[in-house]
Amino acid sequence: MAPIQMMKKIVNQILKRLVQPFASLFSKIASEAPIASEEKQSAAKKFRSKHKNPIACPECGKLMKNERGVKQHIAKMHK
């Protein structure tokens, strides 16, 4: 085998060994990412449930914290 081919083979083996841990790390991150976003969604749901009895604007359906908020919203946005 020519020396250059030997060198290429060795370099390829070294590169494979260097890249392998990163490849598995990236696939681990990619597989964990959807779980993280689900956690964020449930946190958003918890936040929304804190505002109990939201009232929707009859004009545009936008949710307000309470009846007074809807009245103020209508007075401001739907004159």
Can you give the binding site for Zn ion, defined by CB under 5 A?
A: 57, 59-60, 62
Of 15 and 56, which CB lies nearer to Zn ion in the complex structure?
Answer: 56
Nearest one of 59, 36, 26 to 72, comparing CA atoms: 59
**Measured from the CB of residue 48, what is the shortest distance to Zn ion in angstroms?**
18
**Measured from the CB of residue 63, what is the shortest distance to Zn ion in angstroms?**
10
Distance (Å, whole) CA 62 – CA 72: 12
**Measured from the CB of residue 65, what is the shortest distance to Zn ion in angstroms?**
14
Beta strands in the chain (DSSP E): 55-56, 63-64
